[in-house]
Chain A
Amino acid sequence: MLPQLLASGLSVGSIYALIALAMVLIYKTSEVPNFAQGDMGMVCAFAAYAFLVTYSLPFGWALAATLGVALLLGIVFEFLFIRRAKEPTTLNLIIMTLGFQLMLFGFAGWNWGAEQRHFPFPISDTEAVAIGPVVVSELNLVTLVTALVVMGTLFAFFRFTRLGVAMKATQQNAMAARINGIRTRRILAFTFGISSAIGAVAALLVAPITTLDPTLMWDPLLKGFAAAVLGGMTSLPGAAAGGYLLGLLENLFGAYVSVEFKSVVAFTLIVVVLWFRPSGLFARHYVRKV
């Protein structure tokens, strides 16, 4: 029983980890938690559905097109809205992301209607593979692998490419990066784009599990946000770790304590952790001096 729980917890945790990564990426660069993350991913999932069903593209092309849409969505969001805020305080920017989320939610419902659709993912949700004592569905396996691939790609991107190093520099000290000739505003737009793409991957992994409708990503978004906070909002590996931890904890609590209250317990645990580590598990806690 326990290995089975761990396996499914890791799989669910992969999705939370991806969303958490996307949120922390933006938070590190612009100090605003992006609440529009979930619905940006949801719109991309609908776009993928349109590519797959309406235009009957093969899955590889549809995936590439969806990622392109996601990139564009993130860049447009930053360029049209975030940049125009006159007083970019954290609360104002949070409200702006919430507004964008409402807009996307309304647009999705408006454009595609409220009926629930089945997302035609090429990997089946029901066929299972047995690995040792554990039985995982093919989709869970693909989720795990995809998350690891995405994290590996991000790591390589940040380490070995010029753009990645530029993004890291902007995150650490925007002014110094500008002085060194890095175009920080462009980097910021691109950061939004990348994080939106990661969110789109997460949405594409959630869509086959549940039906495709506009409320697809609400619950994963909250869990992903909680996971990011748990791991530390300023630490990328922390976000991933937080995601997996949250997935495991939820599943363990669901099995051993109570299925109904598992979200409540997860959140309570996060609050307890935050009491002892106010900036999350893996982030450095900066104490403000006057």
Chain B
Amino acid sequence: MDMKRDYYEDIQFLKDHVERFWFAVMLLALAVLPHLVQNFTMYVVNFLAINVIVALGMNILVGYTGQVSLGHAGFMAIGAYGTVLLMTEGGLPFPLAILAAAFIAAGFGFMLGLPALRLEGPYLAIATLGFGLAITQVIGRWSLFGGRMGLSVPAMRLGGWTITGDKAIYYVIIAVTVLLALGARTLMKSRVGRAFQAIRDSDIAAETLGINLAYYKTLSFAVSAFYAGVAGGLIAFALGFINPDQFSFIHSVLFLAMVVVGGLGSTLGSVLGGITVAYLSLKMDVIQELPVLGAVIEAISERFLTVSGMPNAGWVFMGLVLILVVVFEPQGLYGLWLRTKKYWITWPF
């Protein structure tokens, strides 16, 4: 199953007509989705798609290159504030603004990649954490960025149309998400992706093979920061306003959780992980609305614990999900998918 017999098969985008069929079905489903659901669900879908973009970027860095980053919310902030400021102060049109902001984020990613050349593990985690913290603090204090109140986002204009409303923004966001996901997958199948994986598996051995560690490590940081920057720019329009609290350390932790829960080193995994963790983080506050579990949680709250603190039950649930994934399926949701597929294919043996 999934055996590749030559190099062409390895880099091929879609293997056979079955995969092509399902890919077309997925694109069709994404295209007609707005006509089937209401507006609030559209907002949720937009939010999930944006988090998927960040998860893809994190996956490139953490899953494929083996580095750690606890500061990705900072790159997202750069993308968001950069886009808004370039549009309001710089007068750039939306596509240029978001690209420029993402490239600025990539530049910061490159700068963050430089310490990565010497640091590993918790030391690199602290360096990235400090970066994320610095970005949030600077944005929070500088009046150019609106301080703690944040900025409100202008309307998105694309080629003459003004795009407002969750459904209209959905098309832009989903198009960008699909493009970036395909881009990530193609990148990982290419020479650059193989270099990243070599660095993850053994960077010293990779260097002896002629892979320029400095170049590829900083490139990995820059690409993953680019993804986060694009996501930041999009979330500004999905939400309508941005403030520093949306890009805190907790968000960086959630991004890391997304790639681990989804499965490191797999594009499908980061999509699944991004959707799962983002959905959980969105629904955490209203956990009592879950069909069966909600009633149980309410009962427990009234008997043993406080009812006023019930929204916090969502945190407990999220933490439990993280722990259970690591304990039972270290390869994440993608590992679960693989096992299901194998079981299905090899049944009844």
Contact = CB atoms under 8 A, between A and B. Distances in A.
Interface string A226-269: 10110001000000000000000000000000001101100110
A113 interface: yes
Contacts of B123: 229, 233, 274, 278-280
A270 B257 contact: no
A271 interface: yes
Given A103-B316, A264-B133, A268-B134, A290 B202 contact: yes
A102 B316 contact: yes
Given A106-B316, A113-B309, A260-B141, A233 B122 contact: yes
Interface string A89-109: 111111110111111111111
Interface in B276-331: 301, 305-306, 308-323, 325-328, 330-331
Contact of A106 (B133, B264, B315, B325): B315
A86 B205 CA distance: 27
B11 interface: no
Contacts of B119: 274, 278
B106 to A, nearest CB: 20
B126 interface: yes
B35 to A, nearest CB: 37
Interface in B135-150: 137-138, 141
Nearest to B203: A288
A114 interface: yes
Determine the interface band of chain A, counting residues with CB < 8 A from chain B: 35 or more
B80 interface: no
Given A87-B330, A106-B317, A229 B126 contact: yes
Given A86-B330, A271-B115, A106 B314 contact: yes
Interface string B243-262: 00000010001001100110
B17 interface: no
B121 interface: yes
Q: Is the interface of A mostly helix, strand, loop or mixed?
A: helix
Nearest to B312: A109
A27 interface: yes
Given A275-B115, A278-B118, A85 B141 contact: no
A108 B141 CA distance: 31
A13 interface: no
B275 interface: no
B127 interface: yes
A274 B127 contact: yes
B126 A98 contact: no
Given A33-B122, A106-B316, A111-B309, A95 B257 contact: yes
A208 B321 CA distance: 33
A100 B326 contact: no
A112 interface: yes
A103 B326 contact: no
A100 to B, nearest CB: 6
B129 interface: yes
A55 interface: no
A263 B137 contact: yes
B178 interface: no
Contacts of B309: 109-114
A85 B316 contact: no
A222 interface: yes
A84 B323 CA distance: 10
15 contacts: A33-B122, A81-B327, A91-B62, A95-B257, A98-B319, A99-B320, A99-B323, A106-B316, A107-B316, A111-B305, A226-B126, A264-B138, A274-B123, A275-B118, A278-B123
Q: Which 8 A-B pairs have the closest CB atoms?
A: A106-B315, A267-B130, A99-B322, A102-B319, A109-B312, A103-B319, A106-B316, A87-B330
Interface of A: 27, 33, 81, 84-87, 89-96, 98-114, 214, 222, 225-226, 228-229, 233, 260-261, 263-264, 267-268, 270-271, 274-275, 278-280, 288-290
Interface of B: 62, 68, 115, 118-123, 125-127, 129-131, 133-134, 137-138, 141, 202, 204-205, 208, 249, 253, 256-257, 260-261, 264, 301, 305-306, 308-323, 325-328, 330-331
Given A95-B261, A110-B316, A222-B133, 15 more contacts: A81-B327, A84-B327, A85-B327, A91-B62, A92-B330, A99-B322, A109-B309, A111-B306, A114-B308, A114-B309, A261-B138, A261-B141, A274-B123, A278-B118, A279-B123
